[in-house]
């Protein structure tokens, strides 16, 4: 539904087994650090330590030195974010929360097993996830504010790598550039009618008081991210939803009635108003996706095979085929060239490492030669919709030591990240001098990365 990406990957909210819940109960909790007005608990450190252990992550150094210092650094940024009035609401992080909750539930096997593993009710787990993402985004926003809009010039990049020994240059993994042409299998009219009839039946049950909208959303909605929350999407602005959905959501006035059926690129929906706050609205929705038949998928693949054969026979180019025949709105006007977008770094490139490609595409591309056009195949696109596709492998850059000409953008990113780290390290050292910091004697160390903690 929403147009969003990842900010920071979850590093601490674990779901593996019940070991953490049991271990937590055995920890006599206490405040071991205070940074500004933010406490660090002994259980916070144990949580991080055990999570790293369970996930096979190596901690460089004594975990009871490294982990508290990492947490203290986060508290410094949170303290400054509070001073700078950086505001992050639940609505700002709800897409990430919903996605993370879904991952945790899937790993556990069910909502009930997740509660059993964590030893706390689902509502509390959800609040922990919300708190984590709100704090993560505040830290991320504060770092961006501190770093500012610093541009790295080509001359700086060349100077940085000019005298570096070749053996010390970073290794660039194999990357590919891929063009894609997708088509959507035809959906039978009776399948569309089936979906509409189901949604009308749900609306009837809600309007008559027979069932609650939230219960039906949990049972039947195919938007996995919101179904667990009874279809609730959180307070959002009009631009955060696709236009067709937003138009209906913002037209709702009565929380006791269900909207008409609305069609979007994701499928068919019914909505229920929850509330309004200024220029934002919160709704529940139920999404159903019409499913193409196996025959429709086969026909679509055969049609794409025919297009691929015409391209191979030079009847027309892949670029022209994309322009005339592709359904993929994200790549259609770019000759089908797939774009690798990093929302965290705010960068875009046409190059993908194989691990970053959609899995169905990567399986096909892995066996192709540069310039080759694939046969048709079916795949699930980023919106969870079944489509069929052909791809052209435009370029393959084998893994290699970085070259200043070929890999200038990658090297620019390395220099930029180093400069940003230097700015943040300087800020941390200065911030230590002006922030109230208290550490229990038994947690004081002489080998902190930043010695300014102990005053």
Q: What is the dihedral of CA 158, 160, 163, 166, to 10 degrees?
A: -90
Is it true that domain 189-288 has CATH number 3.10.50.40?
yes
pLDDT of residue 41: 93
Contact 325, 182 (CB under 8 A): no
* Lookup: tokens for 8: 């920071």
State how far the Cα of 176 lies from the Cα of 395, in Å rounded to an integer: 6
pLDDT of residue 16: 39
pLDDT of residue 54: 67
Q: Name residue, tokens 């505001």.
A: 87
Question: In whole angstroms, what separates CA 30 from the centre of its chain?
Answer: 34
State which fold the 19-151 domain adopts: Triger factor/SurA peptide-binding fold (1.10.4030)
Q: Print burial letters for 130-149: b (CB count within 10 Å at least 16), e (below 16).
A: bebbbbbbbbbbbbeebeee
State how far the Cα of 260 lies from the Cα of 248, in Å rounded to an integer: 8
At 394, phi and psi to the nearest 5? -75, -35
pLDDT of residue 290: 93
Is it true that domain 175-186+292-401 has CATH number 2.60.40.10?
no
DSSP-derived secondary structure for 161-206 = HHTS-GGGSPEEPPEEEEEEEEEPPPPPHHHHHHHHHHHHHHHHHH
Establish how many alpha carbons lie within 13 A of residue 230's alpha carbon, considering only the half-sphere containing its beta carbon.
12
Q: Which residues share a beta bridge with 172? A: 400
Q: What global pTM score does this model have? A: 0.60
At 284, phi and psi to the nearest 5? -100, 155
User: Strand 267-277's sheet: what is its strand order?
Assistant: 262-264, 267-277, 280-288
State how far the Cα of 250 lies from the Cα of 234, in Å rounded to an integer: 13
* Lookup: tokens for 433: 């001098």
Q: Which residues in the chain are classed under CATH 1.10.4030.10?
A: 19-151
Q: Which residues in the chain are classed under CATH 3.10.50.40?
A: 175-186+292-401, 189-288
Give the other-Cβ count within 10 Å of 20's Cβ.
20
pLDDT of residue 240: 85
Residues of the chain short of pLDDT 70, as ranges, are: 1-28, 54-55, 342-347
pLDDT of residue 10: 39
pLDDT of residue 342: 64
Helix and strand element counts for the chain (H, E): 15, 14
Contact 264, 272 (CB under 8 A): no
pLDDT digits 0-9 by tens, 393-417: 999 989 988 888 878 888 888 898 8
Q: Mean pLDDT over all residues of the chain?
A: 87
Q: Which residues share a beta bridge with 401? A: 171
Helices marked H in 229-293 — which ranges?
243-249
pLDDT digits 0-9 by tens, 427-436: 999 999 999 9
């Amino acid at each position: 539904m929403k147009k969003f990406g990842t900010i920071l990957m979850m590093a601490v909210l674990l779901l593996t087994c019940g070991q953490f819940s049991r271990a937590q109960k055995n920890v006599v909790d206490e405040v071991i650090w205070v940074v500004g007005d933010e406490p660090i608990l002994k259980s916070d450190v144990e949580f991080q330590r055990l999570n790293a252990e369970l996930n096979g992550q190596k901690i460089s150094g004594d975990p009871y030195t490294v982990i508290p210092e990492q947490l203290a650094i986060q508290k410094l940024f949170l303290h400054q974010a509070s001073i700078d009035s950086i505001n992050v609401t639940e609505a700002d992080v709800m897409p990430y929360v919903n996605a993370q909750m879904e991952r945790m539930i899937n790993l556990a096997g069910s909502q009930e097993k997740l509660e059993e593993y964590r030893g706390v009710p689902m509502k509390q787990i959800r609040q922990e996830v919300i708190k984590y993402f709100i704090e993560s985004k505040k830290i991320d926003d504060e770092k961006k504010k501190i770093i500012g809009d610093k541009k790295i010039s080509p001359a700086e990049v060349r100077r940085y790598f000019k005298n570096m020994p070749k053996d010390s240059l970073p290794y660039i993994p194999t990357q590919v550039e891929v063009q894609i042409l997708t088509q959507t299998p035809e959906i039978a009219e009776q399948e569309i009618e089936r979906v509409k009839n189901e949604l009308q039946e749900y609306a009837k049950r809600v309007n008559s008081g027979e069932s609650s909208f939230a219960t039906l959303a949990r049972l039947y909605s195919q938007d996995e991210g919101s179904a667990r929350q009874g279809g609730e999407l959180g307070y959002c602005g009009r631009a955060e939803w696709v236009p067709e959905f937003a138009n209906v959501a913002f037209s709702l006035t009565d929380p006791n009635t269900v909207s008409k059926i609305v069609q979007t690129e994701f499928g068919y929906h019914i909505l229920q108003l929850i509330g309004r706050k200024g220029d934002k609205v919160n709704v529940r929705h139920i999404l159903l996706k019409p499913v193409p038949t196996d025959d429709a998928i086969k026909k679509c693949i055969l049609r794409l095979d025919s297009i691929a054969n015409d391209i191979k026979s030079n009847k027309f180019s892949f670029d022209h085929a994309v322009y005339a025949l592709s359904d993929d709105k994200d790549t259609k006007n770019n000759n089908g060239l797939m774009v690798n977008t990093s929302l965290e770094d705010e960068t875009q490139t046409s190059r993908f490492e194989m691990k970053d490609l959609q899995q169905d595409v990567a399986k096909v591309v892995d066996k192709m030669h540069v310039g080759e056009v694939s046969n048709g195949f079916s795949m699930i696109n980023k919106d969870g919709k079944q489509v069929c596709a052909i791809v052209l492998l435009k370029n393959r850059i084998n893994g290699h030591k970085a070259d200043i000409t070929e890999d200038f953008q990658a090297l620019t990113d390395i220099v930029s990240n180093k400069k940003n780290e230097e700015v943040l390290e300087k800020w941390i050292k200065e911030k230590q001098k002006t922030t109230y910091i208290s550490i229990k004697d038994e947690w004081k160390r002489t080998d902190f990365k930043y010695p300014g903690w102990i005053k």
